[in-house]
Amino acid sequence: MKKILFTAFIIFTAAQLFAQTALKVGEKAPLFSAKDNNGKLIDLKKVLKEHQSVVLFFYRGQWCPFCSKHIKNLQDSLQVLTAKGAYVIGVSPENAAGIDKTIAKTKASFSIISDRDYGIMKAYQVNYAMEPGLADKYKKGGLDVALANGQVDYVLPVPATYIIGRDGKIKFAYFDKDYKKRPSVKLLEAAL
């Protein structure tokens, strides 16, 4: 009986990832308000009034080399993005210590939000629970994702990037379940 329940749980959590779909271009972006890594309140509605657009991206954690590379690329091209009126916001389930490591590694100077209750990730439909086998595999490799996030569960975002226009609608959506892939800065720049 335990094997059947465990198998059902694995199938359910795996199906959860595969069932994830991105929000679409033209849809209203879910509004949120949260403090960033500097303690600054980031209210999406207010930020959109002050900027032409928001580049909102979700990343797994400082331990992910693909995430760090993407953040570094965004930081290296931040002037290009801000010159087009964009405000960049990163969202991750990692705790404050993890975000500090991300910033130290990437020199990121834009806002990064610790989505501790997964509210922003859920609103943008990018959250998924790691299946137990994968979580155990990460642990054997030296990474306890739940511990790294200061949580008891194993929730990560599908790496996704949205550009939200001043009107609050999604102008660009990049959502790829392959955690190794991210949109290029050139692609983001063209969408701005």
Q: What is the CA radius of gyration of the chain?
A: 17
Q: 10-residue block means of pLDDT along the chain (192 residues)?
A: 41 44 92 96 97 97 96 96 97 95 96 95 94 88 89 92 97 94 95 94
What number does CATH give the domain 2-191? Answer: 3.40.30.10
CB atoms closer than 10 angstroms to residue 141: 9
Tokens representing residue 107 in the block: 């020199």
